[in-house]
Structure 1
Amino acid sequence: MTAVTTALPRVWPSPDGKPLPPAEAAEVFRTFARDLAAGRRHWDAETARFIAELFDRLAAEWDTSQATGRDDPLRDALERGGPLPNGPCLEVGSGTGLFTPLLGRFFPQVISVDLSEQMLRQAAGRSPLRVRGDASILPVADARVAAIAAIDMLLFPAETARVLAPDGVLLWINQLGEDGPLYLPADEVAAALPGQWQAIEAEAGWGSWAVLRRAC
């Protein structure tokens, strides 16, 4: 529940034309994300169903109308956030698989997990291993994955810590940085995770990233 964070200088510039979500709606989602991570709000079947249905409706048009089209924060995290352990990567909230091929360059196996069946269908050409599942109850045994990639995703601290191997890393990516609807800064992510964690973080493109690992 304590953390040491190291901030790296920016190397990927922020281009013009950042797509800002509606401010009021984004703040509602940010508050929900903070409360969920901190344990002030509980995840339940009704919430999971609402999220699944929402993203099922968005799936067909996601790549053209909702995605940023940029991978700067994830690419920077993978290149400067190491060393990265060798082993399977669990991509939670994987969506249409836009980032799965990039993760596949750094990890021998990428398993895509999402609540939305329609999102996973759209990911068929990008994500060879797809599982419809709830990130609050991951379909993975204890300490089995080398990395969890959470790109614009809610944080489930206990499950994240449970499935990560002792030397595993959490890739925490916010594509729009603090303007994103699920933004959670690295220090709050580390504080929510059980035990002691250390983080490397930076801004890149329109967003920000952090790579978190257990402190030695």
Structure 2
Amino acid sequence: MTAALPRIWPSPDNKPLPPTGTAEAFRAFARDLAAGRRSWDAETARFIAAQFDQLAAEWDTTRATGRDDPLRDALERGGPFPDGPCLELGSGTGLFTPLLRRVFPRVISVDLSEQMLHQAAGRSPLRVRADACSLPLADAQVAAVAAVDMLLFPTETARVLAPHGVVLWINQLGEDGPLYLPAAEVAAALPGDWLAVEADAGWGSWAVLRPGH
């Protein structure tokens, strides 16, 4: 079940739209991966890591949207949030880590790209290079999993989340983003029953999902 909140952060002009064909292809991949119709393997992980390694040095100036409205809105209106560590998946150069650190006592930043994590040194004190499909954490270890423009690995996400933990699902460009998944599809992909609240904010959208027990 999902509930939509009204928009309070307006959408600015000049939204940076990705190339249509490329974005559609990535969205199809993201949907199929989340739904289990497509597998993730070591070769794909190596390819993605290499691509982001090459982009890392210029990411903040040429690739980042520069807008954190969806995450800010999620942290302001999506709570209350459980106390405990937050696992930030696909953390990149750490642009969003400081916002998460204001809410959670500890943020573990995880990314496939070693160079992205190197760029995040001044923002993310705790950085781990790992594949989100096989996280180096024990079961039920984190209070929140935060994913900003990230592929969804539902089984692994649910495994590391504490029983009353939350998933923060952020799409910086909303439906136009290359990895966009609506809250209903995220909830359907995660094992078990989930309740979600979502909203549009700025150029993007967000959802906070909680187990429905």
- Separation of aligned partners in 2, 1:39 and 1:69: 32
TM-score calculated relative to the size of structure 1: 0.98
For 1:173, the equivalent position in structure 2 comes to 170
How far off its partner does 1:103 sit?
0.3
SS in 2 for 1:212: strand
Q: Which amino acid aligns with 1:116?
A: S
- Separation of aligned partners in 2, 1:211 and 1:177: 15
- Separation of aligned partners in 1, 2:148 and 2:128: 17
- Separation of aligned partners in 2, 1:169 and 1:83: 10
1:78-126 C-alpha deviation (Å, 9 max, x unpaired) = 1100110010000000000000000000000000000000000000000
Q: Which amino acid aligns with 1:66?
A: R
- Separation of aligned partners in 2, 1:134 and 1:44: 10
Q: Which amino acid aligns with 1:37?
A: A
For 1:14, the equivalent position in structure 2 comes to 11
1:167-190 C-alpha deviation (Å, 9 max, x unpaired) = 100000000000000000100000
Q: Does 1:83 align with 2:105?
A: no
What pairs up with 1:89-104 in 2 under 5 angstroms? 89-104=86-101
Alpha-carbon RMSD across the aligned residues, in angstroms, is: 0.4
1:50-95 C-alpha deviation (Å, 9 max, x unpaired) = 1000000100000000001111000000110011001000000000
- Separation of aligned partners in 1, 2:12 and 2:45: 34
TM-score calculated relative to the size of structure 2: 1.00
Which residue, 135, 150, 159 being the options, matches 1:153? 150
- Separation of aligned partners in 2, 1:181 and 1:72: 18
For 1:44, the equivalent position in structure 2 comes to 41
How far off its partner does 1:152 sit?
0.0
| Long gaps (5+) in structure 1 | none
SS in 1 for 2:15: coil
Q: Give % identity.
A: 81
SS in 1 for 2:132: coil
- Separation of aligned partners in 1, 2:135 and 2:145: 11
SS in 1 for 2:133: coil
SS in 1 for 2:159: helix
Q: Does 1:201 align with 2:198?
A: yes
Q: Which amino acid aligns with 1:145?
A: V
Q: Does 1:164 align with 2:161?
A: yes
SS in 1 for 2:138: coil
Q: Which amino acid aligns with 1:184?
A: L
